[in-house]
Chain A
Amino acid sequence: MSVESLVDAPATGASPIGRSVPRPDVPPKIDGSFEFSNDVSVAGMLFGATVRSPHPHARLVHLGISAALSTPGVVRILTLDDVPTRARTGHIVADAPPFVDGVARYVGEPVAFVVARSQELAWRAADLVEVTWETLEPLTDPDLALTPDSQRVHPDGNVIRELCLERGDGPLTADVIVEGTWSTGRQDQAFLGPESALAMPDVDGGVTLVLATQDLHTDQEQIASVLGLEEEQVRLVMSGIGGAFGGREDITCQVHLALAALATGRPVKTTYRRAESFLAHPKRHPATLRYRMGADRDGTFRFVEADIVLDGGAYASTSGPVLGSACYFAAGPYRVPVVRVRGRAARTNNPVCGAMRGFGAVQACFGIESTVDLLAAELGIDPIELRRRNVLAPGDEFPTSGQRVGPSAPLRELIDRCTALPEPAPLPGDPTHPYDLPGGTGLTTDGEHVRRGVGFALGVKNHLYGEGVTERSVATVTVTANGATIRSAAAECGQGIVSALAQIASAALGGMPVEVEPATTEAGYSGSSSASRQTWMSGAAVRQAAAEVAARLLTDAAGRAGVTPDDVELVPDGALVGDELISLDELVGDEPIVATTEYRPPRTHRGDPTTGQGDVHVSWMFVAHRAIVDVDVELGLCRVAQVATAQDVGRALNPREVRGQILGGITQGIGLALNEHLETRDGHVVNNTFTDYLIPTAADVAPVEAALIEEPDPDAPFGLKGVGEPSALSSTAAIAAAIRTATGAPVHRVPVRPDDLLT
């Protein structure tokens, strides 16, 4: 097993950059003292429960709350009539009412919010709210939703976004042409910590929320808008986040709780149950990707034509930018002279979809990589060799946008390093443990019909938002006699942003101890912990602020010693001038040294309205995955034997945490490849429990071999790249490819089902 290699030997040298420094949140998470958002409580608090639509499409005829309201212990029931504005939520497109407004558009859409003295009472009373519905025909087929005469799911229409990318003039012809249609499942983030928050009324008529979110300020803006408050009257305090993966970018309970706190004048808390959580947050879009692709006989790619349809569900959430990501990565990390991509995100009465790790690029990767494998088979060229001949290199034009690729694009190295990683032991003829075979402890196979397949895939995605979205992050660094503190609104979801920011500040301050204050909206805007952006963005802001503070400390120390700042060195407990230490206490005294800076990365632009061409991204992350999968070809059961990966990380700030992101993302990739799909029938979710929605367990995951490729990005602080998403991009596609090799089945969809593999 290769897991011992995860423990890094301590790096030498003073700088904490590149060292696997400990994270301050880890010890309390291990001993149980860490406070998650559902652990928060205050005296006298009330509890809320959400009444939800049981129908994917229905007219709300009557809402009867008197029986529920007269239940002992029930304090208040909030409905749309209690909302002071007509504002909608949605941080890209504000299109979702806080409660069903006339028509329910998906199963689980909130209808009312019951406030009671205990959580149990609130849930029971929620069952007593009488809702009369006139059920309507649900529209659940995204292709049908996009036809011109389709019924409209929402007044805004059924097309959330359409994007066409056109590059190159040549005809869509080539020596060899392949076609394929691919589809992907509706993956849920399935973070373990359920949605939960506490809202408290403030004396100024405002409200304070203690919550778990990926973006404090975006939540603040939406809550204030619906409540008709000034943003300053809505104060958000970050609590412990029990995982996120994109699933905490949208409003779920926040607005209801804020309304309830203001309506009752008391603190109000709610915690969702798992079945409710599955319905409440947007998830990964199911996608249908129709491809044509052509190449010369020698394997040189000539064109990619793709038509992509995403099922966005009833409300927009982040469907627009997810579609952008799906389209811009539809041709993979390849040189392709002629590209035609048409993408559409459709509204349906299915569950709402939005952000999940990989953000549209996962679906696109499955599409392009599966198509490249078809082409390799048709050409008779080894699929890895075909990729090697066509990958982007620095200075090339990005295939979908025409944007110039910068110096950090080590694709050939990724391929070489990934394919050189050791392979697992051969398929055991006499397995020692059922876990070594497909079906595991189900003992479904004796191994006789097990075949091993190897698959390979490349992934690409931008980090940071892109497409012209304003991108900035603010951070404050303060030095007192006790050391340094950082104030930042960046969300710690478990990825390690808190220790990353501390590392960066400490590096600029001579190794000084650094504490990170709890994140609140009182800190400047940091933007979301998403899009593989936060370490880059808030890391750069912290680095600037710490550098300003350091410069002032050096100048002060130089002034005292009568030397120039160049003669001074910052050390953990002060400043050194020659052999003489000036302590922090002496240097700082009673007047803390504070710097607040705003970092803005290179600007991006919205693509040309007709062709989508332009500098739409700051830069890209690249990754390679090789999957080895054992398949019982008689039963259609799969077991991933190993995943090897080479990932382009720019510079690994904290190698242990980088590897953690790699392992976690691959595991979610295994989930999407083999199991994870939130199933619906006529808009009704049928598997919204952990009994039926299966995420990988310790018995399912495969050993991972990982190589980190450090090719610094010149625009990024320390040259680092985002590391959260790449591991989830192409692991799924590589597993699907391995299953094809093992079985000969076409594997047109993920998750793969046993009956897809049986002939």
Chain B
Amino acid sequence: MSDAMPSALEVAITLDGRDTTLEATPATSLLRALRDAGATATTGACEQGECGSCSVEIDGRVECSCLVPALVCHGSVIRTVRSFVRADLADALAEHGAVQCGFCTPGIVVAAEAALADPEPLTEHGVRESLAGNLCRCTGYEGIIAAVLRVDEARRDASGRERTG
């Protein structure tokens, strides 16, 4: 290991709709660069892609931001929970007791909205699979799963699309 720290480079991104400049060395993850820039809505609990807390959307794909070097995101459009949060899902999560400590919640919201974007109606198994990469230590997941299923159904009703039997 070199004793000297590599100097930081500037990374220009669009973060939740705003032009933003991050600072990063080659060793800096996107998660760390975001948080160092004060964008702390995205949390991180493991920094090795296991917990899903740091889930963000990078150019349309949901990724663990702890696994992505910030430097490769130059020019990317990045959306965090701040972009994804919608009132119907927020209400459903709150009503179903899907939030306790809340540390996993921003990542859950990103993963849930990614699942809800599926054109097919969601199933319980499908939601479990979609959320299997997001650890929650408090709630036991059931409230989260129920909330996502309810929102899926309500959005389908609202859009007049076909519902499951």
Interface residues of A (CB under 8 A from B): 1, 3-4, 6-7, 20, 22-23, 25-27, 29-36, 38-39, 41, 71-73, 120-121, 124, 127-128, 189-194, 240-245, 273-274, 432-433, 435, 441, 493-496, 656-657, 659-660, 663-664, 666-668, 689-691, 695-699, 701, 703-704
- How far in angstroms is the closest Cβ of chain A from B55? 12
Q: Which of B38-46, B70-78, B156-164 contacts A (4 or more CB under 8 A)?
A: B38-46
Interface residues on B, range: 35 or more
Flag if B48 contacts A663 (CB, 8 Å).
no
Flag if A6 contacts B143 (CB, 8 Å).
yes
Closest to A492 in B: B101
Task: Select one of A33, A273, A696 contacting B47, CB under 8 A.
Answer: A273
- The answer, yes or no, to whether B142 is at the interface (CB within 8 Å) is yes
Write out the residue numbers on chain B whose beta carbons fall within 8 Å of the beta carbon of A4: 146, 150
Flag if A701 contacts B94 (CB, 8 Å).
no
Write out the residue numbers on chain A whose beta carbons fall within 8 Å of the beta carbon of B105: 29-30, 32
Which B residues from 103 to 154 make CB contacts under 8 A with A? 103-106, 109, 124-125, 127-129, 131-146, 150
Chosen A-B contacts, 23 in total, with CB atoms closer than 8 Å, are A3-B143, A4-B150, A6-B97, A20-B97, A29-B101, A30-B90, A32-B80, A32-B81, A33-B41, A36-B40, A36-B102, A38-B40, A39-B40, A121-B5, A191-B101, A192-B136, A192-B137, A274-B46, A433-B125, A435-B129, A493-B100, A667-B140, A697-B133
Flag if B3 contacts A689 (CB, 8 Å).
no
- How far in angstroms is the closest Cβ of chain A from B129? 7
- How far in angstroms is the closest Cβ of chain B from A18? 16
Flag if A698 contacts B99 (CB, 8 Å).
no
Write out the residue numbers on chain B whose beta carbons fall within 8 Å of the beta carbon of A120: 5, 25, 27-28, 32
Closest to B102 in A: A29
Flag if B45 contacts A194 (CB, 8 Å).
yes
Report how far A241 CA is from B100 CA in the complex, Å. 10
Q: A193-B43, A691-B50 are in contact. Are A30 and B85 (CB under 8 A)?
A: yes
Residue from B82, B97, B100 with most neighbouring chain A CB atoms (10 Å)? B97
9 A-B pairs with the lowest CB-CB distances in the bound complex, closest first: A32-B41, A29-B102, A494-B101, A663-B140, A494-B100, A242-B103, A3-B146, A690-B50, A667-B140
Closest to A689 in B: B48
Closest to B16 in A: A32
Write out the residue numbers on chain A whose beta carbons fall within 8 Å of the beta carbon of B150: 4
- The answer, yes or no, to whether B95 is at the interface (CB within 8 Å) is yes
Dominant secondary structure of chain A at its interface with chain B: loop
Closest to B103 in A: A242
Write out the residue numbers on chain A whose beta carbons fall within 8 Å of the beta carbon of B132: 697-699
Report how far A121 CA is from B36 CA in the complex, Å. 13
Write out the residue numbers on chain A whose beta carbons fall within 8 Å of the beta carbon of B97: 6, 20, 656-657, 659-660, 663
Write out the residue numbers on chain B whose beta carbons fall within 8 Å of the beta carbon of A663: 97, 139-143
- How far in angstroms is the closest Cβ of chain A from B15? 12
Task: Select one of A494, A697, A698 contacting B138, CB under 8 A.
Answer: A494
Flag if B1 contacts A127 (CB, 8 Å).
yes
- How far in angstroms is the closest Cβ of chain A from B95? 5
Flag if A242 contacts B45 (CB, 8 Å).
yes
Flag if A274 contacts B45 (CB, 8 Å).
yes
Q: A7-B96, A495-B100 are in contact. Are A192 and B139 (CB under 8 A)?
A: no
Task: Select one of A20, A26, A192 contacting B53, CB under 8 A.
Answer: A192
Flag if A128 contacts B102 (CB, 8 Å).
no
Write out the residue numbers on chain B whose beta carbons fall within 8 Å of the beta carbon of A31: 41, 81-82, 85, 90
- How far in angstroms is the closest Cβ of chain B from A23? 8
Report how far A192 CA is from B32 CA in the complex, Å. 16
Flag if B142 contacts A242 (CB, 8 Å).
no
Flag if B51 contacts A690 (CB, 8 Å).
yes
Task: Select one of B45, B50, B144 contacting A193, CB under 8 A.
Answer: B45
Interface residues of B (CB under 8 A from A): 1, 3-5, 25, 27-28, 32, 35, 38, 40-43, 45-48, 50-51, 53, 80-82, 85, 89-90, 93-97, 99-106, 109, 124-125, 127-129, 131-146, 150
Flag if A699 contacts B129 (CB, 8 Å).
yes
Write out the residue numbers on chain A whose beta carbons fall within 8 Å of the beta carbon of B47: 273-274
Flag if B137 contacts A695 (CB, 8 Å).
yes
Report how far A666 CA is from B53 CA in the complex, Å. 22
Report how far A3 CA is from B147 CA in the complex, Å. 9
Flag if A704 contacts B142 (CB, 8 Å).
yes
Task: Select one of A22, A189, A243 contacting B94, CB under 8 A.
Answer: A22
- How far in angstroms is the closest Cβ of chain A from B75? 24
10 further interface pairs, Cβ-Cβ under 8 Å (given A242-B43, A699-B129):
A6-B97, A22-B94, A26-B102, A32-B80, A191-B101, A192-B53, A192-B135, A194-B45, A494-B100, A689-B48
Flag if B137 contacts A245 (CB, 8 Å).
yes
Residue from B101, B127, B137 with most neighbouring chain A CB atoms (10 Å)? B101
Flag if B139 contacts A660 (CB, 8 Å).
yes
Flag if A660 contacts B141 (CB, 8 Å).
no
Flag if B138 contacts A664 (CB, 8 Å).
yes
- How far in angstroms is the closest Cβ of chain B from A284? 14
Task: Select one of B27, B43, B90, B139 contacting A36, CB under 8 A.
Answer: B43
Write out the residue numbers on chain B whose beta carbons fall within 8 Å of the beta carbon of A73: 5
Flag if A124 contacts B1 (CB, 8 Å).
yes
Flag if A698 contacts B137 (CB, 8 Å).
no
Closest to A3 in B: B146
Q: A31-B90, A192-B53 are in contact. Are A72 and B104 (CB under 8 A)?
A: no
Write out the residue numbers on chain A whose beta carbons fall within 8 Å of the beta carbon of B43: 36, 38, 192-193, 242
Flag if A191 contacts B40 (CB, 8 Å).
no
Report how far A664 CA is from B137 CA in the complex, Å. 7
- How far in angstroms is the closest Cβ of chain A from B45? 4
Write out the residue numbers on chain B whose beta carbons fall within 8 Å of the beta carbon of A433: 125
Report how far A698 CA is from B115 CA in the complex, Å. 14
Flag if B138 contacts A690 (CB, 8 Å).
no
Flag if B5 contacts A72 (CB, 8 Å).
yes
Flag if A689 contacts B50 (CB, 8 Å).
yes
Residue from A31, A245, A433, A656 with most neighbouring chain B CB atoms (10 Å)? A31
Report how far A23 CA is from B143 CA in the complex, Å. 15
Q: A659-B97, A663-B140 are in contact. Are A698 and B145 (CB under 8 A)?
A: yes
Report how far A483 CA is from B81 CA in the complex, Å. 33
- How far in angstroms is the closest Cβ of chain A from B64? 11
- How far in angstroms is the closest Cβ of chain B from A728? 11
Write out the residue numbers on chain A whose beta carbons fall within 8 Å of the beta carbon of B90: 27, 30-31
